[in-house]
Amino acid sequence: MNQTKYFTGVTTVEELRKRYRELLKQYHPDNPSGSIEITQQINTEYDVLFADLSKSDNESNKSYTYEENEHFKAVMNEIIGYNITIEIIGNWVWCFDCYSVREQLKTLGFNWCPKKKAWVWHEEPYKRYHKKEVPLSDIRAKYGSQMVKSQSFQYSLN
């Protein structure tokens, strides 16, 4: 295993992705404490670790491809700069409070879920396994949830 600066102690792809999201929140160039150089270092380290861990990740039966991983990174890098609420539930990216960026989300491959009032992205096509509507709280309980970014409210002074 390679020596890591940003991903110390990460042993699975899920842990790697969780840490990546946390680092993006902190170091993305759109943030005051962010920097392009640090983000590039994080991305490089992530790519190397992803290649190692995706070969040896026996914790789950999920298979991660290079293309899926690149798409995930591109989506996260794009939406992290939006003033929206982002939540990861399982392998799905959910965006709330995002009416102003709905067109950008559509172009990234997000789909509107009217009953949940949110935009959602997932690499694989959606397959419905049941007829009834499942509440978002049940989905969170089953797959786990992590808030990536909360919408920051901006007030204008007039």
CATH architecture of 1-81: Orthogonal Bundle (1.10)
CA distances from 129 to 4, 27, 132, 135, 149 (A): 40, 38, 9, 14, 29
Query: Reading across the β-sheet that carries 145-149, which strands appear in turn?
Result: 111-113, 118-121, 92-96, 85-89, 145-149
Nearest to 90 by CA among 46, 136, 140: 140
* 78, 105 contact by CB (below 8 A): no
* Longest alpha-carbon distance in the chain: 57
Structure tokens at 158: 């007039």
Query: Judging by beta carbons within 10 Å of its beta carbon (0-12, 13-18, 19+), is residue 36 exposed, middle or buried?
Result: exposed
pLDDT in tens, the chain (158 residues): 456 788 888 888 888 888 888 888 888 887 788 888 888 898 889 888 888 887 765 544 455 677 888 888 888 888 988 889 998 887 789 999 999 999 999 999 999 999 899 999 988 766 777 778 888 888 888 777 888 877 665 544 44
- Domain borders along the chain are 1-81, 83-151
Identify the residue whose tokens are 């993305």.
28
